[in-house]
Chains A and B, each alone.
Chain A
């Protein structure tokens, strides 16, 4: 007699050692070209992040929120989206932005303080970064309700972290999505830390299990496994588009860097933890898989590396060349229609500034 096997809690299709494993509910069939392309995205996204951290350290950015360690969760889920799907990010989804075709320069512009996000959210179907924790979950559900009313074949995906699951807005978004059966995928990157607070401060149960209380499925995926993230998100999005309502995906991952460049994680977590997660690195396992199965040779890896170097170099040059906005930009885009008070203040300020013209 054999004991019944409990369903595996963590969906994994690629082990940290780069071994392909099967899962009863989720599978993925990727060509060699597709795997190489995923690998390339992971490497380039990490390089953008690295360059941004360096630019912040050199005083060129006011702040940066590093995605180090979360590349697979972001690239896997980002690549699962169709053009018609809409993504709602936090402020750390640089990898998803990459998948949506957003120029990383716009991300740098935000953290440099040139604007609050210069990309066109409509063109890319990638909303602006939201800094207030969890607010965007409601926007995503509302947008999904719009999709329902349009009768369109699309879904939304909304990103948030483990800390955000404590927010009222996130819980309200779960309720709304559930009762309206909205086509939305809640993609929670549980990176174990909300600045200094570990998951135990947010939840007594695994986060994906929260979904059942709201009346929709929750699933935990290995957030460092790009294959699994792609497969699980693809299935959840398809489910949503087909009218079967929301899914909560908990991507179990790790924030390998600081919360932001202003943070010092040595004050609250031990180095051993980071070392253990380094062994589960999201990029190394894809490289091992490509090598092991002879799907890529050294020349390919060298080429990606060179491309990453060039990307970093270009990005740095373009970041340094970003002009500061003109002073009168203060008054732009606050309102869509003419506003008497703002027009008056703009006029006064412009006159005031003009008084300095020609002064030494």
Chain B
């Protein structure tokens, strides 16, 4: 066991993936000498060389487009998009090419490309550095979308994503990069497409992913003091959704609140609410509620505490879900 930050766990996971397969490449802006602006790729270029850890020109479409070409030649590129709000220049390559090329080739081509995106707010950043664009990608067939929430998962999930023969959009909760946990090197994790019960609970189920898992766990701990047993599910995989795990929990509690930083409207929470309603209809005591960002662009950082779901907003929703 080694105590690692989430960023370091990703770094160790990438290192293990590169050690295991010489076709694995890391590419992106500042990923080489600097080690990435969050240091996730720290030291990799020194150890694996400039041919495998590639500092690219500053053009996101170019990063994904050339990664596709490298994958066609048999490589497994892991691309870093420096910040969530900068993925949009690459959206065309991700959506029209990366996601669709396997089908276009009738399965003759595989595109094992990982697109790493630091996501979410809470770090007092300027515009475009705090967004949660996951729904754009979960809505795109052909992509797998995952989000890690803690160092243990980060370590195994990044390796599983690299090994996966499908393109994977990999969200990393940037405000949790410095959270620490004990990680066991070489230990396997849950399969990449499985959700995890982060906390058992009998009265209400919180469904979250990425940065909101920790907030939900804190809310559950606070609710316990009020005598409520709140469970938390860490989805891990956003496409596909691991509905059996969600269903089993909500069947027990009869109450469900979905929490994410992304705007509620047209967000992933809507999809989860609809599926829970279809699959747990006769067990539900209340409608599925959603807590998330407002229908505004991400605000200036002095307002972000009001925009982001926090412990109180989650507890308020828990109260409401008992009001039916």
Contacts and interface: CB of A to CB of B under 8 A. Distances in A.
Interface of A: 115-118, 120-122, 127-128, 130, 132, 135, 137-147, 149-150, 168-169, 172-173, 175-176, 179, 332-337, 339-342
A175 B59 contact: yes
Contacts of A340: 193, 240-243
Contact of A117 (B56, B105, B242): B105
B62 A173 contact: yes
B75 interface: yes
Contacts of A334: 102-103, 141-142
B31 to A, nearest CB: 15
Contacts of B97: 130, 132, 135, 139
Contact of B104 (A117, A122, A141): A117
A138 B73 contact: no
A135 B73 contact: no
Nearest to A330: B103
A172 B62 contact: yes
Contacts of B141: 334, 342
Given A127-B72, A332-B107, A142 B65 contact: yes
Contacts of A339: 144, 166, 193, 240
B69 interface: yes
B72 A333 contact: no
Interface in B235-289: 239-243
B93 interface: yes
Given A176-B57, A179-B57, A335-B166, A149 B51 contact: yes
Interface in B57-75: 57, 59, 61-62, 64-75
B66 A138 contact: yes
A3 B68 CA distance: 51
Given A142-B66, A334-B141, A337-B164, A150 B73 contact: yes
User: Among A142, A145, A332, which residue has the most Cβ atoms of chain B within 10 A?
Assistant: A142
A139 B102 CA distance: 14
27 contacts: A115-B106, A116-B103, A117-B106, A128-B105, A135-B97, A138-B68, A138-B69, A138-B93, A139-B65, A140-B69, A141-B69, A142-B70, A143-B69, A145-B66, A169-B65, A172-B59, A172-B62, A173-B62, A176-B56, A176-B62, A332-B107, A333-B102, A334-B103, A334-B142, A335-B144, A339-B166, A342-B141
Given A168-B59, A172-B65, 10 more contacts: A117-B105, A121-B72, A141-B65, A146-B73, A332-B106, A336-B107, A336-B110, A337-B165, A337-B166, A342-B141
Contacts of A138: 61-62, 64-66, 68-69, 93
Interface string B25-66: 000000000000000000000000001000011010110111
Contact of B109 (A121, A175, A176): A121
B101 interface: yes
B69 A135 contact: no
Contacts of A150: 73
SS of A interface (majority): helix
Contacts of A139: 65-66, 68-69, 72, 97
A142 B72 contact: yes
B108 interface: yes
Contacts of B102: 333-336
Contacts of A333: 102-103, 105-107
Interface string B210-234: 0000000000000000000000000
A107 to B, nearest CB: 14
A175 B57 contact: yes
A149 B25 CA distance: 11
A138 B101 CA distance: 14
User: Among A130, A144, A146, A147, which residue has the most Cβ atoms of chain B within 10 A?
Assistant: A146
B2 interface: no
B19 interface: no
Interface string B136-147: 000001101000
A121 B108 contact: yes
B266 to A, nearest CB: 18
Given A139-B69, A140-B69, A143-B69, A335 B74 contact: no
A335 B69 contact: no
Nearest to A118: B106
B96 interface: yes
User: Among B106, B110, B142, which residue has the most Cβ atoms of chain A within 10 A?
Assistant: B106
B319 interface: no
Contact of A336 (B74, B96, B166): B166
Given A141-B69, A147-B73, A116 B166 contact: no
B21 interface: no
Contacts of A173: 62, 65
Contacts of B100: 116
B200 interface: no
Interface in B130-156: 141-142, 144
Listed from nearest, the 8 A-B pairs whose CB atoms lie closest are A142-B69, A138-B65, A146-B73, A142-B66, A333-B107, A172-B62, A336-B165, A143-B69
Given A122-B108, A146-B74, A135 B65 contact: yes
A128 B109 CA distance: 10
